[in-house]
Structure 1
Amino acid sequence: LREDEAGDEVGGYVLGCELSRGSFSTVREAYHIEETKVKIGPVVVKIVRKHNIESAEEAMRRELMIWRRLGHPHVLPLLDSFESPMALYAVSPRCTKGNLLQLLNRMCGDPQGAGGLPFATLKRIALQLCSAVRYLHYDAAVAHGDLKLENALLDADENVRLIDFGLSRELFNGGRSSHNQEAGASARGCGSCTAAGSLPYCAPELLRGGLPDRPADCWALGVMLYACLVGRLPFQDAYEPRLVYKIVNAQYELP
């Protein structure tokens, strides 16, 4: 089946250059087309092919269901969503300053070394992250499930915009995931700890088979804030089993 390409028109948008590609999705720059054929934008379109794998389509539909009801200054808004016989599409604003990991690399030099963000920048970003996570937990009743530096985009003013709700879950029973979600997650495994790049942010209970919830999000938020303060992640090891051991036993060094 032919994939969407630059120049294609879908759902009232002209697709542009490819920005990133994952196992089951592609992200492209795009422009909205008005009736006069004037292009407005740019925006970003996430594309998930329906025929790649059923679980990817299911995850995208779940993400859209949660994402479309969120509204907070530091959560990236969903501007539009639609589908074709071949794919699902999610449209969001274009954030031009990259993500928090890229900011750390730019400002701190060696990402494995010491030295975090300047205090004024750190304070602003920390307050914005905490505000967004508090909103998700207590106003939207959602656990993000995959908080990490790469999922905190920066807009033109370098304000935080949280993204990626593919592993998010609605919260019930005092902040825990529902029993129905637990059954589904048990069948699929703990996605937030198997997703590439997410293991260093996983709370110990997730590594033991638990589900994303408020405490697990707060652990991941703490990992992000540690990295912003110190300039490196608290748990690092190229050998994955040893990294898991460090996380479960809280083995990290204070600067």
Structure 2
Amino acid sequence: MFLSAFSPSTSVSSPRSSLPDDEGQEVSGYTLGHIIGRGGFSTIRLASSSTGGTVAVKIVRRSDIARQDNPTLVQKRLSNEAAIWSSLSHEHILPLFSAVHTSYADFFVTLYCPAGTLFDILQREGPLGQDGAGMMFRQVVRGLRYMHEVAGLVHRDVKLENVLVDEMGVCKIGDFGLTARIGELDDDSSSEDEGVDEQSEQYQRQRAVSSMRQTKPGLPAHLSLIRHHSGPRHRNSSPLPSSARPAEVKQKPECYNPGSLPYASPELLLPHSTPLRPHPAQDIWALGVLLYALLTGRLPFMDSFETRLQMKILHGVYEMPTGIGRGAEDVLKGCMERSVSSRWTIAMVDDAAWGVG
């Protein structure tokens, strides 16, 4: 009693109770493991089953959605992503195995891709050269062709970070948060336009007659860093509209995520009296940017000043890499054509992609 009166008081904090997305928790028959990645407001954990299977689980907490500038829009896009993702099935589309929705978070169980994204691979290995770039590019094209011609969708966020590579070297397109049907505006967009433009209708007609070829998965080439010297500057033949002035250019295209601006097509940056409808040509431009990066290890349009970067994209001036072959040059020119009507279709890119590498 006497000693206890002089004993220092110690406050023992109670341990934090486990959260539904903590390591060790179970989701859809899988035990959550360590964190392997993070998104804008999501966390990706490795997870394993009792039989030894390994998957990746994308976790989006309700509390993180509530902290966004427009929680309602974010939730709508998340629901849209889940609906679209679950409807897709193709060798080069990241599969969604199951989705669990709780009051705490949404859990999306998908394929674990240990090689990471194309961005990760470029960071580790540098430019892939013609053979490596061509092999990866053709797979992305096949996945995107399925989306355009079979599913009738525009991805709207094609970039290195959104293409994952599995343990066999097979590319898988992921992240469908901005994906939309060809020619259809989002519910939150208002438009006085009537109908879908002629090119969107043309793509819809192509879906019915398209036949998809199969690609054989292959291992990614482990090539040493290749330095590409600056080549001649290439400029699209289509003139820049006189209405495009630096002050009139949108500061942040609403249909592109932060960090995706270098992949944005020129028409997305021009001022429009009505919202621009989703069009496959927007993905085609991004495909050209992606191929350029795979070949050279850098983006065709870069600038630390955002407005200046937008003007570079609008003018469509970039350095054509040297030593990449005529086939790759043709694909780059066809994809990064400023005029939407002159830009290649996904079928044209697919046919010519065999000339890359």
TM-score (norm 1): 0.85
Cα distance in structure 1, aligned partners of 2:45 and 2:74 = 18
Map of 1:101 onto structure 2: 119
Q: State the shift of 1:88 in Å.
A: 1.0
**Residue 206 (str. 1) matches residue 217 (str. 2):** no
Q: Is contact 2:300-2:318 (8 Å) kept? A: yes
Amino acid at match of 1:234: P
Report the CA distance between 1:58 and its aligned residue: 1.9
Pairing 1:48–2:60 present: yes
| Aligned counterpart, 1:232 | 298
Worse overlay, 220-229 or 208-217: 208-217
1:85 to 103, 112, 123: 103
- Which piece of structure 1 moves more, 233-242 or 8-17? 8-17
- Whether the aligned pair in 2 keeps the contact of 1:167 and 1:191 (CA below 8 Å) is no
Distance 1:23 1:152, change over 3 A: closer
| Contact in 2 for aligned 1:99/1:150 (Cα 8 Å) | yes
Structure 2 segments unaligned to the other structure (5+ residues): 1-16, 192-251, 322-357
Q: CA offset at residue 99 of structure 1? A: 1.2
Aligned CA distance change for structure 1 residues 185 and 100 (closer, same or farther; 3 Å): farther
- Residue-by-residue CA offset, 1:16-40 (whole Å, 9 max, x unaligned): 11122233211111123xxxxx253
Whether the 8 Å CA contact 2:43–2:58 is kept in 1: the answer is yes
Matched, 1:222 2:298: no
1:184 aligns with 2:202: no
Within a 5 Å distance, the mapping from 1:1-255 to structure 2 comes to 2=19, 4-32=21-49, 38-51=50-63, 52-53=65-66, 54=71, 55-108=73-126, 116-171=127-182, 176=183, 178-179=184-185, 181=186, 183-185=187-189, 190-193=253-256, 195-208=257-270, 210-255=276-321
Distance 1:170 1:138 in 2: 11
Distance 1:215 1:205 in 2: 10
CA distance in structure 1 between the aligned counterparts of 2:60 and 2:75, rounded to whole angstroms: 7
**Cα distance in 1 for residues equivalent to 2:40 and 2:174:** 17
Report the structure, 1 or 2, having the larger strand content. 1
1:232 to 1:79, Cα distance in 2 relative to 1, 3 A: same
Structure 1: 4+ residue segments shifted above 3 A: 189-192
Corresponding residue for residue 35 of structure 1: none
Equivalent position SS for 2:100: strand
Q: Secondary structure at the match of 2:87?
A: coil
C-alpha displacement of 1:198: 0.5
Q: Which amino acid aligns with 2:30?
A: Y
Q: CA deviation at 1:186?
A: 5.7
Amino acid at match of 1:184: D
Counterpart of 2:107, as a letter, is: Y
Structure 2: distance between partners of 1:23 and 1:117:
28
Which residue is equivalent to 1:112?
Answer: none
Answer with 1 or 2: which has the greater Rg. 2
Work out whether residues 24 and 56 of structure 1, in 8 Å CA contact, stay in contact via their aligned partners in 2. Answer: no
Please tell me whether the aligned partners of residues 37 and 45 of structure 2 are also in contact (alpha carbons under 8 angstroms). Answer: yes
3-state DSSP class of the match of 2:24? coil
- Aligned-residue offset at 1:185: 4.0
Q: Name whichever of 21-30 and 142-151 sits farther off.
A: 21-30
**Deviates further, 2-11 or 117-126:** 2-11
In structure 2, the residue matched to 1:111 is none
Give the distance between the partners of 1:30 and 1:106, measured in 2 at CA.
25
Tell which deviates more after alignment, 4-13 or 219-228. 4-13
**Unaligned 5+ residue runs, structure 1?**
33-37, 109-115
Over aligned residue pairs, what C-alpha RMSD do you find? 2.1
Distance in 2 separating the partners of 1:118 and 1:230: 7
Tell me the secondary structure at the aligned position of residue 144 of structure 2.
helix
Do the aligned partners of 2:129 and 2:294 also contact (CA within 8 Å) in 1? no
Contact 2:129 2:296 in 1 (8 A): no
Q: Separation in 2 of the partners of 1:44 and 1:56?
A: 22
Q: Which amino acid aligns with 1:94?
A: Y
Q: Is the contact between residue 181 and residue 278 of structure 2 (CA under 8 Å) also seen in structure 1?
A: no
Which residue is 1:113 aligned to?
none
Aligned to 2:9: none
Give secondary structure in 1 for the equivalent of 2:52.
strand
Q: Measure, in 2, the Cα distance between the counterparts of 1:225 and 1:39.
A: 39
